A and B are shown apart, each in its own frame.
Chain A
Amino acid sequence: DIQMTQSPSLLSVSVGDRVTLNCKASQNIYKNLAWYQEKLGEAPKLLIYNANTLQTGIPSRFSGTGSGADFTLTISSLQPEDVATYFCQQYYSGSWTFGGGTKLELK
């Protein structure tokens, strides 16, 4: 299986911060990567797919970059409603795998 590693696992943030989250694959997955936001008790929400394509309805403060094995999700100016857990997912292989997540907490 392709291993997905996210860093950091926990990030203390303030409203207005530029936030950068990282995701690394154990092999080349080209651009077959998605980012999700998850809040307690809710289903994961797709933010970004194909590494850098913003899902319809997602605010433009979210952006994704990367290809191959290294990827980044950036929130340009953190809003209170963005406090959540974010995880990446590869769908290059038929057996999806997920990163362990990055939890954002307010300072």
Chain B
Amino acid sequence: QVQLQQSGAELAKPGSSVKISCKASGYTFTSYYMSWIKQTTGQGLEYIGFINTESGGANYNEKFKGKATLTVDKSSSTAFMQLSSLTPDDSAVYYCARGINYWGQGVMVTVSS
């Protein structure tokens, strides 16, 4: 069955970066784009962007350009999202999603000094 297993919670300092992962199983990884979503109590759900898992080409929501970088490792069927220059506003739960019907379990990122 399709599974998206995300990496564990992150505690990061302001100004630093984090890289979270999303390991896919149960399907052909390169046949589906991978999307990423941010969830906060204040802003709700926000779409970060998606990556073409075959070509590695990514498309970003304007708001997250320069903040998020999406990559993939086809050999391990894993998608990654790096968040840079972290601020407390980046504290959130981040989900990967294959289409609309398969979501990872989410990764909580906390940015605090």
User: A94-B59, A95-B61 in contact; A43/B104 too (CB < 8 A)?
Assistant: yes
A64 at the interface (CB under 8 A from B): no
Interface stretch of the complex, out of B24-32, B73-81, B84-92, B95-103: B95-103
Residues of A75-99 contacting chain B, CB below 8 A: 87, 89, 91, 94-99
Q: Are A98 and B45 in contact (CB under 8 A)?
A: yes
User: A100-B44, A101-B44 in contact; A49/B103 too (CB < 8 A)?
Assistant: no
Residues of B43-75 contacting chain A, CB below 8 A: 44-47, 49-50, 59, 61
Cα-based distance from A94 to B35 in the complex (angstroms)? 10
Cα-based distance from A94 to B48 in the complex (angstroms)? 11
Q: Are A87 and B45 in contact (CB under 8 A)?
A: yes
CB distance from A23 to the nearest CB of B (A): 13
Give which listed residue, A43, A95, A96, A99, contacts B103 with CB less than 8 A. Answer: A43
Q: Of residues B35, B47, B100, which shows the largest number of chain A Cβ atoms within 10 Å of its Cβ?
A: B100
Q: Of residues B47, B50, B59, which shows the largest number of chain A Cβ atoms within 10 Å of its Cβ?
A: B47
CB distance from A36 to the nearest CB of B (A): 9
| Nearest chain B residue, comparing its CB with the CB of A46 | B101
- Interface size of A by CB at 8 A reads 18
CB distance from A8 to the nearest CB of B (A): 15
A55 at the interface (CB under 8 A from B): yes
A73 at the interface (CB under 8 A from B): no
Q: Interface residues, chain A, CB within 8 Å of chain B?
A: 34, 42-44, 46, 49, 55, 87, 89, 91, 94-101
Q: Can you list 27 pairs linking A and B with CB atoms under 8 Å apart?
A: A34-B100, A43-B95, A43-B103, A43-B104, A43-B106, A44-B95, A46-B100, A46-B101, A49-B100, A55-B101, A87-B44, A87-B45, A89-B45, A89-B100, A91-B100, A94-B59, A95-B47, A95-B49, A95-B61, A96-B37, A97-B47, A98-B44, A98-B45, A98-B46, A98-B47, A99-B44, A101-B44
Q: Interface residues, chain B, CB within 8 Å of chain A?
A: 35, 37, 44-47, 49-50, 59, 61, 95, 100-101, 103-106
